[in-house]
Amino acid sequence: MMNTCHYRPTTAVVHKDALQSNIQSLRSYLKKETAIIAVVKANGYGHGIVEVAQVALEAGAKMVSVATPDEAILLREKGIESDILVMAPTTVAFAEKAADLGITVTVSDALWLQKVMPKTRHWKNRLKIHVKIDCGMGRVGVRDQASLLSIIQLIQEDEQFQLEGAFTHFPCADDGCIETTKLHFDKFKEMLQVFPEKPKLVHASNSAATLLYPEYGLDAVRFGIGLYGIAPSREVQEKLPFPLVPALSLESELSFVKKVEKGQAISYGATYTTETEEWIGTLPIGYADGLKRGLRGQEVLIQGERMPIVGTICMDQCMVRLPREMPVGEKVVLIGKQGKEEVLIEEWAERIHTIPYEIAVSISERVQRIYE
């Protein structure tokens, strides 16, 4: 459970208007008949699962999707009444709970259904199902028509099973692989022919495919990283059909300021030594908060200026080189805007050679989320 106290100045500020803007821009971009599934897994990509779900649904999303049963149950407990899709495989033990709460599960093989069927006779509610089809991701999903037919037949045999949808996932849409993505889409359409009737909700596109290939929209799209104002990749960023508005700022303040003589080492391992007399500021944020050690040298914003993190980043704190004396309590922006400057999550990702997704979900639970 997140601490509701605000004694620590390190906070993640989530801008609800940015989330709304990204949903509304997408709604205007898509065909009217294409619904939006807001992906809120991994604590809403670090932004807050419940709060993001609420904002997205109010802004026009039809339903939400998550990765785990626990995430889905939490949303129900917090009053989210829309359809909730658990996109990853779940245990047989979760099936009855999902039916009770009206949570939609993903089915990728006939064996799972066979294990569940003996338990359904005493259920009060039907189990809503989306069938996952693997068209090239190689992770989860049925891969051939015969296996898909077996799944369909088992769903039809048990009146407690309710087929709601079918979906796939594009592994290369964010890399600009037009031909590969088309091949995967064509295979998906071919697999759909096995269904005696088209499922109510057929979806294939993640954020990258949604933004680059509107023709693959089908009945719904899954809007994940784009919902949070982050482009899935540099390739997608360069071709965005509408601006994405970043929804998160990471902020702190100077907790200690000191003048250090020339030749003094700063932090663990003496990885930084002052070249002249310098002002050094300490921030109450470290790698336990998501400020990864590889971000040494990354710039933060203070008084609208960029200033570098120096020395090894500690678990709970880090140090920055200041151009002059500054007061304790001065606001620091690590991600976000201050004055005319802005630090994006993408900048962090490039520095440590990863993707923005990883940065967003790495901001730890002990960093207080504030919603504005």
Write down the domain spans for the chain: 31-237, 248-371
Q: Could you read off the pLDDT of 199-255 as tens digits, one per residue? A: 999 999 999 999 999 999 999 999 999 999 999 999 999 999 999 999 999 999 999
* CA distances, 115 to each of 91, 93, 109 (Å): 10, 10, 11
Q: Where are the beta strands (DSSP E) in the chain?
A: 11-14, 35-39, 63-66, 84-86, 103-107, 127-132, 161-167, 201-203, 220-223, 248-253, 256-260, 265-266, 272-273, 278-283, 299-302, 305-310, 318-322, 331-338, 341-343, 368-371
pLDDT exceeds 70 at position 4? no
Share of the chain above pLDDT 90, in %: 97
* Active site annotation includes 268: yes
Q: Could you read off the pLDDT of 30-62 as tens digits, one per residue? A: 999 999 999 999 999 999 999 999 999 999 999
Given the residues 115, 262, 268, 331, select the one marked as catalytic: 268
CATH of the domain spanning 31-237: 3.20.20.10
Given the residues 16, 41, 128, 132, select the one marked as catalytic: 41
Choose among 204, 176, 174, 210: nearest CA to 349.
174
**Confidence at residue 5, expressed as pLDDT on a 0 to 100 scale:** 63
**Confidence at residue 1, expressed as pLDDT on a 0 to 100 scale:** 41
> Residue 183: enclosing H or E segment and its boundaries?
helix 178-192
* Active site annotation includes 62: no
* Higher per-residue confidence, 5 vs 92: 92
> Residue 43: enclosing H or E segment and its boundaries?
helix 41-45
> Residue 160: enclosing H or E segment and its boundaries?
none
Give Cα 225 to chain centroid, integer Å.
5
- Is the domain spanning 248-371 CATH 3.40.50.300? The answer is no
Q: Which two tokens stand for residue 217?
A: 């929209």
**Confidence at residue 6, expressed as pLDDT on a 0 to 100 scale:** 77
Give Cα 169 to chain centroid, integer Å.
15
Give mean pLDDT, residues 339-357.
Answer: 97
Q: Is 152 exposed, middle or buried (0-12, 13-18, 19+ CB in 10 A)?
A: buried
Long-range contacts of 180-184 (CB under 8 A, 24+ apart): 180/136, 181/209, 181/213, 181/216, 183/136, 184/135, 184/136
Whole-model pTM: value is 0.94
299 CB contacts (<8 Å, ≥6 apart)?
Answer: 306, 307, 308, 309, 343
pLDDT exceeds 80 at position 193? yes
